[in-house]
Amino acid sequence: MLDSHLAELYGVETKALKRAVRRNKERFPDDFMFILSREEYEALRYHFGTLERGKHAKYLPYVFTEQGVAMLASVLKSKRAIAVNIEIVRAFVRLRELLASHRGLARKLDELERKYNRQFKVVFDAIRQLMTPPEKSGRQIGFTVREQKAR
């Protein structure tokens, strides 16, 4: 997401958001945030056509990944950013509880499988297949510059 969109979302000015990021640079590695090049920004403006705001911007925009958006919530001081940060922490707690219950379910399934091994092997295999998380796609986040070859 672009810095201007996040500033609007968190209820702060874009310059305040950028200032907070510069002051906490160590919290934003390259996989959390990057700065668009002039060519990328012009291509983005051309692609959307309506990106008039920022047309004559002095500085190039920051772009944040999902992790960068979460980190940004922890460095901004607005009420909305604080509320988002609290919800992120609560989501992690719920995720941990879900994983703990998942482990308990896996343990009970192991016990049942040992007890009724041969009779229900197909059923247990199907349940285990459903419990395995999907594989992550190899898609890369961000922009890629495709340069034209010289003729």
Quickly state the pLDDT bin for 93 (edges 50, 70, 90): confident
Backbone torsion region of residue 11, taken as left when φ is above 0, otherwise alpha when ψ lies between -120 and 50, otherwise beta: left
Residue 55 confidence (pLDDT): 55
pLDDT in tens, 116-134: 666 666 666 777 777 777 7
Domain shared by 60 and 36, yes or no: yes
User: What Å distances lie between residue 33 and 16, 56, 146, CA to CA?
Assistant: 16, 22, 21
Would the pLDDT of 23 be above 90? yes
User: Are residues 90 and 72 part of one domain?
Assistant: no
Position 18 scores a pLDDT of: 94
Residue 7 maps to a domain:
yes
> Residue 11's domain spans which residues?
1-77
* Residues 103 and 73 occupy one common structural domain: no
Tokens of 70: 């979460």
The mean pLDDT value for 48-71 works out to: 74
